Structure 1
């Protein structure tokens, strides 16, 4: 063999040794902090809508939550200006609504807000085996991701209501977190802001608005920003609507904007509402959304909020007391307030096997109790208050 041939052979042999690698092993993936580069939050609307993050937009019925979300969509599709005057880069918008029809409700509202309809895409279902079926995020998220990649430049995703994404019990923390994750992953892969719309629970006037979001605390725990919309009385007795930040883990968590719901005729004979933005306002969401004319020291409001929380968490189920206490702590509800509210509701507290305690609502508070509640009769007789309760 010539010298040149030996050199070539050695080069090829070394190349094969370099290319040859061990197969990737299954297991936990760790990333060393030194290998990461700090990155700032990427904002769609600075301080309000962050790319790749989940936002909750909550409020009582009739406050224009969907109309506000569509105002966001209009700004994105046209590269318009946000209520604070800052410019938004133009992009596409994805809308999944389980409550409003795209043709007779959503599109007219988008047009009234000045949106570019060519940049808005509605999720209306899935085709399985040639048949059209309802969109199921647990089944169809991969296909939806492929569609978003085909569309390109999806910068805003609206889910109305966000509870539509939860196939299980939306009042259970673990089930809700698991159901929301595919949507959060979709937003992250698209570098889009995800806005989920939901309602306020009854009561709680004067309390923390974040605690009034219907469903599991997971909705507001997973969300990086919680926005609330409400109509309140001004100091002079006039009505005003306010969009405020109730929570933010990634930016300012106070301040807001006044808004008005106006009517227009985007197409002859078709009327639709749109959000007209007003002045910026300062203060926390709790301060902004509290009626200044209401005589309330806040104690009754906190108790009402805790009672509503208990009814949401327990529902028709028998729930371990430890879970109730943990979720209440995440929601910012004091243990003493929680226990006072449970006493007011007549919550049944029974000890099961070992030292575990369970809570359930009495039939008077929930006439639709299921078989789980009936099974409470099989548990031992509760120990009196002097015996204490194991949380």
Structure 2
């Protein structure tokens, strides 16, 4: 019909309307209640957050986790001396057996075993299979609610939560998110244990965590364990627990610790180890790790070690000095005490117990040249030696 308006037909290129199953939820900032971070251990273990503990083999990472579990379950003390609030701990370990390894460490650490729970597996119908952190989060959440008052969840190793490639950021984030969500909903601290990658010495500690950088990025706090190359004054091996990263608190400092082997009094013949915490240390984790990893062979001119060696030579030129005095002088001069201790080893400085008031004292080793020079002036043999004549009539000094 002439003059009639043509019928409207949708263009073939027009995209059809889509129906979405979900709706994006948005919160107005003014409606969100501001809350403080809830700490299990102030500055070190946060409730509802993911923490990573990494380190090289032999640093006792799992033993540290057992020590933390013991403090929590028994209301013990944290390394800084503060008292832990009592709660339950749940542990999943894919590497150590609870019966012969983990529980003995807990016993030596003073744990309340009735508050420690181990994830054994998953029951599906009439069959039982191994627990898989990458897919068993809903079942785990139901069990944690059943236990109640769970304050700490340990996953060892944390890489087990990744179903895909642990070196790919996207897959690591996808694998860690269910764990992080579980910790947030349960208000418990999540502690994941992992290793350092080989050949990463000197790099930022967070970058040394094995696998993708997403492990360190997703974690709110990254702790690292290290072992110094030199021994302490009493001959023990010095180890360090350091705070390498924190998005919610201080990100430096740490504590010395030692691993002490002992026999279980309640089970004669069974030996294990526990953590003995030492003094607090200050400084950035990267600097403290660099010092711990170094040896006395890197004393090149102009290096911190060379400067510390010169410092000690000057301070001890007049004789023995108390270690407390040297530590104070080193701090005033800008020397790291850990580096000064390495310098002591490089110079073969002698450490002796100087009595109740003096404590430990350091003294430069005796040098034969200076002793001989003084003796020649007096016409005497050097103190502390006797003279023997060789066939060529030259004098040989023998320490006595």
User: Which residue pairs with 1:282 in the alignment?
Assistant: 282
Matched, 1:186 2:160: no
State the match for 1:52 in structure 2.
Answer: 48
5+ residue gaps, structure 1: 1-24, 298-391
Q: State the secondary structure of the residue aligned to 2:135.
A: helix
**2:396: which partner in 1?**
none
Once the two structures are TM-superposed, the CA of residue 294 in structure 1 deviates from its matched residue by: 5.5
Q: How many Å separate the matches in 1 of 2:224 and 2:174?
A: 24
How many angstroms apart in 1 are the aligned matches of 2:86 and 2:77? 10
Change (3 A) 1:294 1:207: farther
Question: What's the offset of the Cα at 1:236?
Answer: 7.7
Name the structure 1 match of 2:298. Answer: 295
2:231/2:238 contact within 8 Å kept: no
Structure 1 distance, partners of 2:168, 2:125, is: 33
User: Can you give the 5+ residue segments of structure 2 that lack an aligned partner in the other structure?
Assistant: 1-20, 301-400
What are the Cα deviations for residues 211-244 of structure 1, in whole angstroms up to 9, with x where unaligned? 1100111110000000000111359897411000
**Within-5 A mapping of 1:99-118:** 99-118=95-114
Normalised by the size of structure 2, how large is the TM-score?
Answer: 0.66
Does residue 265 of the first structure (1) align with residue 263 of the second (2)? yes
Query: What is the match of residue 239 of structure 2?
Result: 241
Match of 1:177 among 153, 173, 177: 173
Contact residue 259 and residue 277 of structure 1 kept, 8 A: yes
Answer yes or no: is 1:120 the counterpart of 2:120.
no
8 Å contact from structure 2 (residues 195, 210) kept in 1:
yes
What's the CA shift string for 1:87-126, capped at 9, x where partnerless? Answer: 1110000101000011111111111111011101111110
Corresponding residue for 2:79?
A: 83
Return the alpha-carbon distance in structure 2 between the equivalents of residues 294 and 232 of structure 1: 14
Deviations 1:292-350 (A, max 9, x none): 545399xxxxxxxxxxxxxxxxxxxxxxxxxxxxxxxxxxxxxxxxxxxxxxxxxxxxx
Query: Which structure ranks higher in relative contact order (CA pairs < 8 Å, sequence separation ≥ 6)?
Result: 1
Whose helix proportion is higher, 1 or 2? 1
Paired residue for 1:139? 135
CA deviations 1:365-386 (Å, max 9, x no partner) are: xxxxxxxxxxxxxxxxxxxxxx
Contact 1:246 1:284 in 2 (8 A): yes
Q: CA deviation at 1:80?
A: 1.1
Instruction: Give the whole-Å Cα distance in 1 for the aligned partners of 2:22 and 2:154.
Output: 35
CA-atom RMSD in angstroms: 1.9
Shift of 1:203: 2.0
- After superposition, residues 2-41 of structure 1 pair within 5 angstroms as 26-41=22-37
**1:311-390 matches, cutoff 5 A:** none
What TM-score results when the alignment is normalised by the length of structure 1? 0.67
Partner of 1:168: 164
Q: Which residue of 2 aligns with 1:217?
A: 213
Size of the aligned set, in residue pairs, is 274
Instruction: Give the 3 Å change call, closer, same or farther, for CA 234–281 of structure 1 in structure 2.
Output: farther
Q: Report the 3-state secondary structure (helix = DSSP H, G, I; strand = E; otherwise coil) of the residue aligned with 1:272.
A: strand
Matched, 1:66 2:62: yes
